Structure 1
Amino acid sequence: MNSENESELSVSYNQDGACFACARSNAREGGFTVYNVSPFRETFGRRFRDGGVGTTEMLFRCNILALVGGGREPKFSPNKVMIWDDHQGRCIGELVFKVPVRGVRLRRDKVVVALAHKIFVYNFSDLRLEQQMDTATNESGLCVISPTTERTVLACPGLNKGQVRVELFDLGTTKFIAAHETALACLGLSADGSLLATASEKGTLIRVFDTHTASLLHEFRRGSDRARVYSLAFSPKKNLLGATSDKGTVHVFKIPDRPSASSTSATASPAPASRPNGTASPATDFAKRFLPKYFTAETRSRAQYRLPSAARSLVTFPAADPDTCVVVSDSGEYSRLVFDLDRGGEMSLVERHDFSAAAPARA
């Protein structure tokens, strides 16, 4: 949201990452514009000359969006979520709160609203409140919900620092995961809700959990320096995980088919490697026992790229392009990158666009 930076733009992907919306909080050219991810093109938008929009949340590719006012002269109250029908060019519903809205998530049957200390879940058809949850301080509005009808899974901060609360609506159960020792900074959920990615405010480690068992499956190292992780996104096949941060970097991790041996908090000491004569190799044994696990290849990203700006950026994996990721940022930059997982290393930029200028849209 715009409260996190000075940008007058705020980007967000739709539920399957096929489109992204750009909210514009400038009072004179406020509104939103929706773009197709691959190929890149503007699809529709709306300009408001009497106030800005701080948050835009799409509902797949349809004409219904959730809007929250933003900027110095907001079009709508920052304490409201406005359900906007772009075919009619008007709001068809609203949710009102006593404090500013920090985040909004949509699926076809639910509206999820994040405040600084609460999460509210509403039925979409009549905006009836279904559930509310208390959270730790959540100024960033962290909350993710699975978009498909296959499973209904919601993840948000718990009451304790570094804790994730996972709601399994289909099973009527709640799981709590002690994901990190420091406060949460980013959450990512696979489309079917089975995998949860987390990062803390430290930003060096990214962890992947099974939402139904709350067990740790994998642990990846983004880097050794402290960083603010902006986004975590799974590929459609759940074999890749993308991450962006305030270091201006994009990382793509390969998710192993099986849980990583290093992901278990308490593991048995590895057996010594054997030489042909049956004696253990001292060097191999030392490396396995004492080197930090972030030196192992499976915990490091397979592909990387440095963006021209450290502005808040979000990554997604287009379904039709398995070796491609797309990154959009609050600075108005669109980048399409290709990578080779077998070779690894630096990704290649194949397409870049600037959407920072206000697009001509209906007033």
Structure 2
Amino acid sequence: MANQSSSHPILCASFNQDNSCFVIGTRDGFKIFDCETGKLLHERVIGAFIIIEMLYRTSLLAIVGAGEQPSLSPRRLCLFNTIKGTALRELNFLTSIVGVRVSRERLIVLLQEQTYIYDVNSLEIKRVIDTVPNLKGLSAFSASTDNPYLALPASTMKGSVLVYNVIDLQSHCEIHAHRSPLAAMAFSSNGMYIATASEQGTIIRVHLISEATKSYSFRRGTYPSTIFSLSFGPSADLPDILLATSSSGSVHIFSLGFDLNERTRKSNSFLGSIMPGSVGDALDPAQHLVFHNAFAAGVKSNAVVRKTEKASGTSMADPVALRATVSVITLSGYFQVYSFRINHKHEATWTLEHEVNLLTAVAEQ
């Protein structure tokens, strides 16, 4: 999530691949934080950055400068070692870099009309993909070794998604998700599902990648709103929930594998295990919960579902049916951790566990 505007103090923010850490870029440098505690782990004052990506909890960062000084050109990608405080390698391009993704095997660099796929160890170029104009650097990337997919916009006129296998270097499928151009995309942690939202922001859809078929459609609201981030709950199969943050300042939770109140029991067939009982079920308000005014309207945000815990039974002795931990970064400078609970009556509660001012945080000695 990058912010070219000077209206917010944070220029970019991103979680690492397992959501255990996150990094922010400011006009002064970058800071790395622990997601569990919110503690500042590392910081360096070396200039303004508009893109920073971590590789899990390693010392490697992929960083792109904001162009406020010659050494931090937006056309140069620097692979930076946080322990040594030095650049390991630099890659230069003819045009500005609009996005970067990284896994243990691949480095992805997005330009406005091309995407470069590198071997992350040798930095050998494996493939260059010509793309439609992608000025915002929109993409989704699955770091899963079983489903190593990259998703890119396939059209500037409608919400089509190109899904590309970055290991086999083959196009996997094209998904026609929305009538309007795409605004947000995210893979599930296992790379089996992709969630998408268009620039209208009223409908969020989930597709099963292996079949390129639509599994769920959710209505976020009636009026248009910009979707800033999408995040599935962690799962080895179908995630329990999908989270979205929007320009209205709200956080939305949609039910997927988790049956809120047994109204939509699925059949035992394979199709029934991934599809809602009907289209009506998918658009039913019982599948959608909203936390209003989580942050100021218009403030860009990035949120992830870090943990989910589902109750084994339906006993009223344990009224909580699902617990989730949600972490939110706002470009206004705050990190918030919420505890989210749903009971068997479809009643939800949000509790702010802790909040950190990212701009004033100081590392412990």
1:219–1:260 contact (8 Å) kept in structure 2: no
The correspondence of residues 330-341 of structure 1 with structure 2, limited to 5 A, is 330-341=331-342
Q: Give the distance between the partners of 1:140 and 1:146, measured in 2 at CA.
A: 19
Of residues 67-76 and 91-100 in structure 1, the stretch that sits farther from structure 2 once superposed is: 67-76
**Are positions 1:328 and 2:316 aligned together?**
no
Structure with higher Rg: it is 1
Letter in 2 for 1:332: G
Equivalent residues of 2:233, 2:308 under 8 A apart: no
Deviation at 1:174, TM superposition (A): 2.1
Residues 1:163 and 2:160 are matched in the alignment: yes
Cα 1:45–1:320 change in 2 (3 A) is farther
Correspondences of 1:147-158 after superposition (within 5 Å): 147-158=143-154
Task: Return the TM-score normalized by structure 1.
Answer: 0.83
AA partner of residue 297 (structure 1)? P
1:187 equivalent in alignment to 2:182: no
Label 1:147 to 1:262 Cα distance change in 2 as closer, same or farther (>3 A): same
Q: Structure 2: which 5+ runs fail to align?
A: 258-272, 310-322
1:259 aligns with 2:255: no
CA distance, structure 1, for counterparts of residue 339 and residue 82 of structure 2: 34
Aligned residue number for residue 360 of structure 2: 357
- Measure the CA separation in 1 of the matches of 2:362 and 2:331: 15
**Larger deviation: 319-328 or 79-88?**
319-328
Identity of aligned residues (%): 28
Matched, 1:76 2:72: yes
What does 1:201-280 correspond to in 2, within 5 Å? 201-237=199-235, 238-256=239-257, 257-262=273-278
Q: Give the corresponding residue for 2:312.
A: none
SS at structure 2 position matched to 1:318 = strand
C-alpha RMSD of matched pairs (Å): 2.4
| 1:341 shift after superposition | 2.3
Is 1:23 aligned with 2:25?
A: yes
Q: Distance in 1 between matches of 2:6 and 2:177?
A: 26
2-structure distance, mates of 1:74, 1:213: 47
Give the C-alpha shift of residue 261 in structure 1: 4.2
In the TM superposition, residue 308 of structure 1 has moved relative to its aligned partner by 3.0
* Larger RCO (CA within 8 A; separation ≥ 6): 1
Q: CA deviation at 1:133?
A: 1.9
Counterpart check, 1:314 vs 2:289: no
SS in 2 for 1:316: strand
CA distance in 2, matches of 1:220, 1:111: 32
Shift of 1:37: 0.7
Q: Which runs of 5+ in 1 are unaligned?
A: 264-287
The worse-fitting range, judged by mean Cα deviation, of 133-142 and 89-98 is 133-142
Contact 1:304–1:345 (CA under 8 A) maintained in structure 2: no
Aligned-pair CA distance for 1:349: 1.9
Decide whether aligned partners of structure 1 residues 246 and 4 sit closer, same or farther in structure 2, where only a CA change above 3 A counts: farther
Q: Output the CA distance in 1 between the equivalents of 2:363 and 2:338.
A: 27
**Over residues 285-332 of structure 1, what are the superposed CA-to-partner deviations in whole Å (9 max), with x where a residue is unaligned?**
xxx7xxx974x235x423424223231111112237752211111111
Measure the CA separation in 2 of the matches of 1:341 and 1:135.
42
Could you tell me whether the CA contact under 8 Å between 2:160 and 2:175 is conserved in 1?
Answer: yes
